[in-house]
């Protein structure tokens, strides 16, 4: 892979037409790209662990906010969506644990898995709930304000966030 090639290039096709959600998805892509660079350049376990931590925390918060949005909108397929989120977090946890026992190649396996999962999740179930919310005329404004405030608080209170931003 050429040096200037981006591991996971964001495309407008991934938009779910809710700005806050798109921004969060793009940030997840950014963290994945950062992790890819750290792994490729062998930046060391500490740097990689910091980025991995940021990825897990950001994903957890993003999922929680997204689930709240669907709950507020009384979205009918909320439960299976939550199940997908839970499964991903469990798999991420397993991959991280597996890395402790094995060699570095696990990172590339993890990166490819996460990239595929995120693409399919956004283009699949995320697009579905967004379309359903818009169809019933649900206004996302209040949720977007709350989500923005929550993210700001999270960014200020977590050291890993600085670590990831500074990297
Ligand atoms: Fe989702």
Return phi, psi of residue 73, to 5°: -85, 0
- Give pLDDT tens digits for 54-77: 888 889 989 999 999 999 999 999
Centre of ligand 1 from the C-alpha of residue 129, in Å: 9
**Cα separation, 97 vs 76, whole angstroms:** 34
Residue 151 tokens read as 């993210």
Centre of ligand 1 from the C-alpha of residue 140, in Å: 16
Centre of ligand 1 from the C-alpha of residue 130, in Å: 10
> Residue 120 pLDDT more than 70?
yes
Token pair 């909320």 is found at 78
**Cα separation, 46 vs 152, whole angstroms:** 25
Centre of ligand 1 from the C-alpha of residue 2, in Å: 31
Centre of ligand 1 from the C-alpha of residue 111, in Å: 18
Where are the domains positioned within the chain? 18-166
CB atoms within 10 A of CB 132: 15
> Residue 1 pLDDT more than 90?
no
Strands, DSSP E only, in 5-161?
A: none
- Give pLDDT tens digits for 91-116: 988 877 776 655 566 688 889 999 99
Centre of ligand 1 from the C-alpha of residue 42, in Å: 31
Centre of ligand 1 from the C-alpha of residue 79, in Å: 11
Which of 108-112, 120-124, 129-133 comes out lowest in average pLDDT?
108-112
Mean confidence (pLDDT) of the chain: 86
Centre of ligand 1 from the C-alpha of residue 63, in Å: 6
Centre of ligand 1 from the C-alpha of residue 3, in Å: 31
What average pLDDT does range 27-56 have in this prediction? Answer: 87
> Residue 47 pLDDT more than 60?
yes
Centre of ligand 1 from the C-alpha of residue 82, in Å: 8
**Cα separation, 113 vs 87, whole angstroms:** 13
Centre of ligand 1 from the C-alpha of residue 125, in Å: 7
CATH of domain 18-166: 1.20.120.50
Specify whether the CB–CB gap between 14 and 25 falls below 8 A.
Answer: yes
């Amino acid at each position: 892979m050429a040096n200037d090639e981006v591991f996971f290039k964001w495309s407008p096709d991934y938009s779910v037409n809710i700005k806050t959600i798109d921004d969060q998805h793009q940030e997840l892509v950014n963290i994945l790209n950062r992790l890819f660079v750290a792994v490729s350049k062998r930046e060391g376990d500490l740097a990689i662990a910091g980025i991995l931590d940021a990825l897990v925390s950001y994903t957890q918060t993003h999922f929680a906010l997204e689930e709240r949005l669907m709950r507020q909108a009384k979205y009918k397929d909320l439960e299976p969506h939550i199940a997908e989120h839970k499964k991903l977090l469990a798999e991420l946890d397993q991959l991280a644990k597996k890395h402790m026992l094995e060699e570095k190649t696990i990172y590339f396996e993890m990166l490819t898995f996460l990239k595929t999962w995120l693409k399919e999740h956004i283009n699949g179930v995320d697009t579905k709930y967004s379309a359903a919310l818009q169809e019933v005329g649900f206004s996302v404004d209040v949720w977007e304000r709350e989500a923005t405030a929550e993210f700001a608080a999270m960014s200020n209170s977590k050291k890993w966030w600085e670590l990831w931003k500074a990297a």
